[in-house]
Each structure stands twice: as C-alpha cells, then as structure tokens.
Amino acid sequence: MTQDFYRPGTSLIHRWNPVTTLSLSLTLVVTAFASQALWLPAALLVFVVFPAALVSGVFRRLLAWLARFLLPVILLLFVIQGLYHQDGPLLDLGPVGVHLDGVLFATRTALRLLVLTGAFLLLLFTTHPGELMTALVAHGMPPKISYLVSATMQIVPAFRQRAHSILDAQRARGLRTAAGPIGRVRALVPLVGPLVLGALSEVDERAVAMEARAFGATTRRTSYTVIADSAAQRVSRWSMLVITIAVIVLSATGVIR
C-alpha cells in the first residue's frame, strides 16, 4: 500500500528547491478554497496544476492517481449531495430529486478536492521525501522532525517484512489465516503481539547509540547534502507567502466571495 510516488527526473520542477514546490502546493490549496466561484479551482487545475504536471512529465500518473483517490469520493459526493440537499428539486423523481444547490455544492467540492490532491501529488511526484526534509531543515525546521520522518519511512518496510515472517512462523505452527471476519480478527492477535513487542524492545539500544552521537545537541548543524536554491526562487516563495496571506485575509473579511 505504501507508494514510492517520487520518480527521478530532470524537468524544471524536479530541479526546483523542494520548499518552492511545497509553497506552490500550499498556495494552490488555500486559493482553491478561498472563493465560492466555480471557475477559480477549475482555472487553477487547468492553468497551473495540469501544465506543471505536463512540464514535469507526470501528467498521466497524476490523472491515474487522482482517479484512484478521488473518483469514488466524487461519485458519492454527487449522489449524496445531489439528492439530499434541501431547497427545491431541479428534477423530481418521486421519492428522490436532483437539486441544483446540491449539484453546485458537489461540483465546487469536487473541484477543490482535485486541486488539493493534485497539488500535493505534484509535490510528491517531483520531490524526493528525503530532499524535502533536508531542504526544510535548511529553512529552520527542527532536525528532530527530519529524523522522525526519515527513520519511520525506513522502519516501515522492515516492520512489514517482520510481520510476514511472524505470519509464516505462526502458520507453520498451525494458525489459520483465512476464515470469515471473526477468524481474521482472531488471526491478528498472534501476529500483532510479537510484532509490536519485538519492535518496542529495540527502542532502548537505539536511544543510547544516538545519545552517544550527540543527537540531543542543540547547535545548528551543517548538512551533508546541499539543496540548490536561487534568488528567483526565494523571491517567488516570498510572493507566494504574501499571496496566501492576502487570500486568507480577503476571504475572511468577505472581500472575495
């Protein structure tokens, strides 16, 4: 289930500093949610997210993953909001009816979700998680967060491997793993127990080893890898921050509707 969203590439967006791509994603999301107008999220999708995906060569994967994450959600959205919304029906079908308000609401929510998910997928497709963490630490994020994220992403595959070996071991001892919902829950017990206890017992040694390597030091560290940045990107990041704040303020004060 865990995906490696990132594929190496040489496009303009791949070469951006990860923080620039992250700022773009956040600005897109905030702007998409700022207005009731349907054209705004639609325009962001067609004129920013899709062209950016085309430029970085991830357009087809973006569409495939958007469909995978959002198609069921959007279908349900239209069924539920289209039918259940209050006010007069657009189309009366006996017990149920299609309501204009509901359809508008569903369209708006669907477009916003497409921008939200599309903007983040764009970030994940073009940015290696490790580089994102390194770049964020260079911009002042505590290095502890970078360690926590990177360590977890390394632990999970090992953990899943261990879950498989425990499952095999329990099967060898006669555990039955496929027999109805109750049987499946019961099969979880001899699996989760050894898995969790084994993992927790390793915590101790690691703490001592890390303390010995000055993990708790509070001085600012230098980085082994340096992530490229440019004056143009710095300017664009600051302007995106200003746009984001302006959009939030204008929307909260009712200037944008």
Partner 1 sequence: MRPAAKIAAGTVVVLATYVYLVLERPGASGTGALVALAGYLLGSVLIGLGAVDRLSTSSVTLIPVAMAINIVVGQLALATGIPLYLDSIGIVIAGVLAGPAAGAATGVLTCVIWGLTANPTIMPFAVTAAEIGVAAGLIGMLGGFRKPWWAALAGLLTGVVSALVSAPISAFVYGGVTTSAGTTAITGAFQAYGASLFAATTLQGLLSDPLDKTVTFTVAFVILLALPARFRQRFAFARRYRVFATGVGSEGR
In angstroms, rounded to a whole number, what is the distance separating the alpha carbons of residues 250 and 35? 10
Burial classification of residue 24, based on how many CB atoms lie within 10 Å of its CB (0-12 exposed, 13-18 middle, 19 or more buried) = buried
Per CB under 8 A, contacts with partner 1 among 118-147 are: 120-121, 124, 129, 141-142, 144-145, 147
Q: Copy the structure tokens of residue 91.
A: 């189309």
> Which residue lies nearer to partner 1 by CB, 192 or 226?
192
Task: State which of residues 155, 169, 179, 226 lies at the interface with partner 1 (CB under 8 A).
Answer: 155
Enclosing H/E stretch for 99: strand 96-99
When asked if residue 169 is in the footprint of partner 1 (CB under 8 A), the reply is: no
> Which residue lies nearer to partner 1 by CB, 60 or 206?
206
Task: State which of residues 54, 67, 91, 156 lies at the interface with partner 1 (CB under 8 A).
Answer: 156
User: What are the distances in angstroms from CA 74 to CA 67, 109, 166?
Assistant: 9, 8, 39
Give the binding range for partner 1 (CB under 8 A) out of 54-62, 100-108, 168-176, 228-236.
Answer: 100-108
When asked if residue 2 is in the footprint of partner 1 (CB under 8 A), the reply is: yes
Contact assessment for residue 21 and residue 128, using Cβ atoms and an 8 Å cutoff: no
Give the binding range for partner 1 (CB under 8 A) out of 14-22, 51-59, 73-81, 225-233.
Answer: 73-81
When asked if residue 100 is in the footprint of partner 1 (CB under 8 A), the reply is: no
Per CB under 8 A, contacts with partner 1 among 22-51 are: 29-30, 33-34, 36
User: What are the distances in angstroms from CA 169 to CA 85, 176, 197?
Assistant: 53, 12, 16
Enclosing H/E stretch for 97: strand 96-99
Per CB under 8 A, contacts with partner 1 among 205-234 are: 206-207, 210-211, 215-216
Task: State which of residues 100, 163, 227, 243 lies at the interface with partner 1 (CB under 8 A).
Answer: 163
In angstroms, rounded to a whole number, what is the distance separating the alpha carbons of residues 204 and 195? 16
Q: Count of residues binding partner 1 (CB under 8 A)?
A: 79
